[in-house]
Amino acid sequence: MRSKTISLILVLILSMIVLTNFVTATNIIAISSYENYIKLENNKLIFEKHISLKNTGKNTIIPGELHFKLYEISDKDVKTIPKISNLASTDKYDNDLSARIVTRTDDAEVIISAWQPIMPQFEYSIILKYEMEFKPRGILFHNIDFPDEETTIPIQSSFTSIEIPKKYSVSYAPNATVTKEDNYKKVEWKNINEKTIEYTLIPFPNTKVHGATLFWVSLIILLTIPLAGIIISELKSRK
């Protein structure tokens, strides 16, 4: 028992050392701005990411490779590997950056090579574009979550927007700004970690609870009240 306690303390101390060093190491670079523009279109999600890397340290650094691990979580929390196409990456000045896709067992990885040196306090901007095959799940209401992106580089400012075709109504989008444009509806989040959007073909208002919940509860109430009436009158007539 005593040896277990000592081991636990040692592991904790070691973890703290490792964590301290990890934090120190990651203090050399930050994503000063992470803008994620997503468009829903014909069973695919079109991503355009604008990323500004900032050298927050004291030495000139080179970002090297940036790894974007992409995967989809579907029903029963199963990870599926999305099909990625039309991959392209450029810097701010439209110079092509080397980009490739590596497909693994549980994710697809987009790797960008950026060998431009960044001087201390300077920034380097990258634009990454790709398309991801996407079949919305749901019966009448489709729900997509974009959880906070786990990253080894701290993100100082983030912005996400998703455009959905105008035939859909946005029925739930907490902490988001929803605007209507000519051909689409735009949902935007600024510095929000959990990004959820629910949309439907049914004309439905944007409410503070899931549209699916509201709709199905209302429908069931509407159907069960007459049914209950019938059952009650049936029981009374039997008596």
Stretch that binds another protein, among 1-9, 146-154, 175-183, 185-193 (CB under 8 A): 146-154
Phi, psi of 144 (to 5 degrees): -125, 130
- In the 8-state DSSP scheme, what is residue 77? G
Phi-psi sector, 104: left (phi>0), alpha (psi -120 to 50), beta = beta
Half-sphere exposure (CA, 13 Å, Cβ side) for 232?
A: 6
Stretch that binds another protein, among 24-32, 97-105, 173-181, 182-190 (CB under 8 A): 24-32
3 state DSSP class of 143:
strand
Tell how strand 141-146 and strand 195-200 pair up: antiparallel
Out of 37, 124, 134, 199, the residue judged to bind another protein by CB under 8 A: 134
Report, in Å, the least distance between residue 104 CB and another protein: 13
85 lies in the binding site for another protein (CB under 8 A)? no
Which is nearer to another protein, 137 or 166 (by Cβ)?
A: 137
- In the 8-state DSSP scheme, what is residue 76? G
21 lies in the binding site for another protein (CB under 8 A)? yes
Token reading at 239:
């008596």
106 lies in the binding site for another protein (CB under 8 A)? no
Stretch that binds another protein, among 1-9, 98-106, 178-186, 208-216 (CB under 8 A): 208-216
Token reading at 199:
């949309």
**Site pattern 210..239 for another protein (x: CB under 8 A):** x-xx-xxx-xx--xx--x--xx--x-----
